[in-house]
Amino acid sequence: MLNINNLHAGVEGKQILKGLNLQINPGEVHAIMGPNGAGKSTLSHVLSGKSGYEITQGSVSYQGRDLLDMEPEDRAREGVFLAFQYPVEIPGVSNIYLLKAALNAIRKHHGLNEVDAMDFLALVKDKVKLLQMDEKFLYRAVNEGFSGGEKKRNEILQAAVLEPKLCILDETDSGLDIDALKIVADGVNSLRSQDRSFLMITHYQRLLDYIKPDFVHVLADGKIVKSGGPELALELEAKGYSWVEGQAA
């Protein structure tokens, strides 16, 4: 599904990713862990098409297409979803309006009709229940006045409605207390399926207690320096990042 090959990328002349390789197959859940400044957020931004990054070397293919050549909205329409570390507020635009506009943009891209208002409402209410959210959230402006936990839950709600193929979770656990973390994790787990892949980016092991990854990778200084199964996360937690940073040098 996703094949990252020798990816070099930076911002304003500063190299951040320095030859990253990663392959994700359909249905797999990959966790990328790493210390601050390792390039975790850069990776999520480059994959989703945020402007301001220079790709100096390497390639990313997504479902056989050159991902880096696609506009951000086309990546989204083709199923790449980024759950933001810091979701923005959009005053005046209700959650439900955004969800409907986004879903219809994606459907249109795939040659489908716009979803009927009644069907849409039924669909969204279903997903809201899944994430244990109050229906009132749908009618509030996007993320405006939401708590940190509510914003993260709202991101997962969007994923649940838009049904992406590749879901990138950028530090989804940051700023969440344990209760909120459980709800978000339950939401993510309910989205797991044979043809949907996940790339979880996190600093801490604790998220992985709730969302069990198939693979764990350690990112340090712009490269993946170690890969393994879930046990790698525990080892990392015990030994600290200095353990792998030493190996990277």
Q: Report the interface residues with another protein, using CB under 8 A.
A: 48-53, 71-73, 75-77, 81-82, 84, 87-88, 90-94, 97-98, 101-103, 105-106, 109, 141, 158, 162
Is residue 80 within 8 A of residue 165, CB to CB? The reply is: yes
Closer CB to another protein, residue 102 or residue 180?
Answer: 102
Torsion of CA 62, 66, 67, 72, to 10 degrees: -140
Smaller CB separation from another protein, 162 or 208: 162
Least separation in angstroms between residue 31's CB and another protein is 21
Give 69 or 126: the residue with its C-beta nearer to another protein: 69
Question: Smallest distance, Å, CB 160 to another protein?
Answer: 13
Task: For another protein, give the closer residue by CB, 52 or 145.
Answer: 52
Q: How far is the CB of 54 from another protein (least distance, A)?
A: 9
CB of 82 to another protein, least distance (A): 5
Nearest approach in angstroms of CB 36 to another protein is 21
159 vs 224 by CB, closer to another protein: 159
